[in-house]
Amino acid sequence: MIISRTPFRASLFGGGTDLSDYYENSRFGYGAVISTAINMYTYMTVNKKFDNRIRVGYSKTEIVDCVDEIEHNIIREALKIVGIDSGIDIVYMADIPLDSAGIGLASSSALAVGILNALYAYTGKHVSAERLAKEACQIEIEILKNPIGKQDQYAVAYGGLQKYQFNADGSVFVDPIICKQETKKHLQDNLMLFYTGLTRKSSTVLTEQKEKIPQKMKRLDRLVEMVNIAESALQNNNLDDIGRLLHEAWMIKRQFASNVSNDLIDEMYNRAISAGALGGKILGAGGGGFLMMYVPDDKKEKVRRALGDYKCCDIGFEPQGSKIIYVSE
């Protein structure tokens, strides 16, 4: 039996510039994001099945005779890439409900990276974070044609607080954010997550966003510039600048598609700002999921009360990416 554990992620800056329509045409020659893995996870358990059939367990159970019969598209394509075609039992679990797709924590990419990691380990192979991220992108973007970018696959494969640069030639540079541990701890403590209660398909939001990229290039350029500004702010321990940059980035992002925000999200955001938050954003494509706010320590309780109708989740930064946590003979 093999068990892999893969973190979810919270994207801080640069979301949208990881789409190929942008970074292949950017005046910088690249897109860039700052993203951190968080201490919420998806778990993939892989075991040999007694017979030659395939069982896949998640919010439903599939028992099939061949890979092509599997309905779960990511698991189906991962089995094909690794080259396993029979006699395997796969169970998928997570720290969020399995039917909560579209909450902005990169759950589908964590699944893609995590199942690849577990399947390779099952065959006796250890593969790099780079390979896991590339093949997860291959599944989600090239094979399944999802209108998404690359940051999620890399963020959950590598883990940590990182800057990712998506180059026009398709390569990706991964660099850790170098700052004091105290700064990183304060940033983590000042980020608050509130669940909106809304879910959506990211493809719905991102399809419109991709169509509008040619008209939004200057705004996307500004998001890339803000990645470098935010990196400098962290290096110099100017944490409140992070809050203000998040606010500016959210004002830009909400213009990218008609369904990035809505009345409920706007009300939540404005209530948090009025209570002392400096800025924030909806994680992921937008339209629902988690609202992340940057809140100075002395304002956290006031913000918590202002959004008392919504579940608040304290998060920690996860330094590691996808890993194998259990192996039995």
- Minimal CA–CA distance to 64: which of 43, 94, 86? 86
Distance CA 231, CA 12 (A): 11
- pLDDT for residue 180: 95
CA 48 remoteness from chain centre: 30
Hey, is 265 helix, strand or coil? helix
Instruction: Report which residue type is found at 179.
Output: C
**What is the spatial distance between Cα 55 and Cα 61, in angstroms, rounded to a whole number?**
7
Q: What are phi and psi of 43, to 5 degrees?
A: -120, 135
In this prediction, residue 222 carries a pLDDT of 97
In whole angstroms, give the CA distance from residue 2 to residue 242: 40
Distances (CA, A) of 268 to 38, 245, 290, 325: 22, 19, 11, 38
Domain 2-178+318-327, CATH? 3.30.230.120
- In tens, the pLDDT along 163-199 reads 999 999 999 999 999 999 999 999 999 999 999 988 7
Q: CA nearest 19: which of 202, 151, 163?
A: 151
Backbone torsions φ then ψ of 20, nearest 5 degrees: -60, -30
Distance CA 19, CA 128 (A): 23
Confidence (pLDDT) at 202: 63
Taking a C-beta distance cutoff of 8 angstroms, is the pair 158, 129 a contact? yes
Q: From the CA atom positions of the chain, what is the Rg in Å?
A: 20
d(CA 184, CA 177): 9
CA–CA dist 10, 42 (Å, integer): 14
Q: How confident is the model at residue 286, as a pLDDT?
A: 73
Instruction: Say how far apart CA 105 and CA 271 lie, in whole Å.
Output: 23
Assess if CATH 3.30.70.890 describes domain 181-313.
yes
- Write the single-letter amino acid at 42: T
Task: Characterize the bridge pairing of strands 88-94 and 30-48.
Answer: antiparallel
Same fold, 2-178+318-327 and 181-313: no
Which long-range CB contacts under 8 A does 296-305 form with residues at least 24 apart?
A: 296/190, 296/240, 296/243, 297/189, 297/190, 299/275, 300/190, 300/192, 302/275, 302/276, 303/192, 303/272, 303/275, 303/276, 303/277, 304/192, 305/275
pLDDT, tens digit, 9 for 90 and up, residues 101-117:
667 899 999 999 999 99
Q: Quote the CA–CA distance of 270 and 254 in Å, as a whole number.
A: 14
Domain boundaries, the chain: 2-178+318-327, 181-313
The half-sphere exposure of 222 on its side-chain side, counting CA atoms within 13 A, is 11
Could you give the dihedral angle defined by the CA atoms of residues 38, 42, 43 and 44, in that order, rounded to the nearest 10 degrees? -130
Q: What is the pTM of this model?
A: 0.94
Reduce the DSSP state of residue 221 to 3 states and report it. helix
pLDDT score at 313: 87
Report the amino acid identity of residue 188: Q
Which residue ranges of the chain lie beneath pLDDT 70?
Answer: 97-102, 200-206
Residue 150 tokens read as 């690359």
Q: What is the pLDDT of residue 255?
A: 85
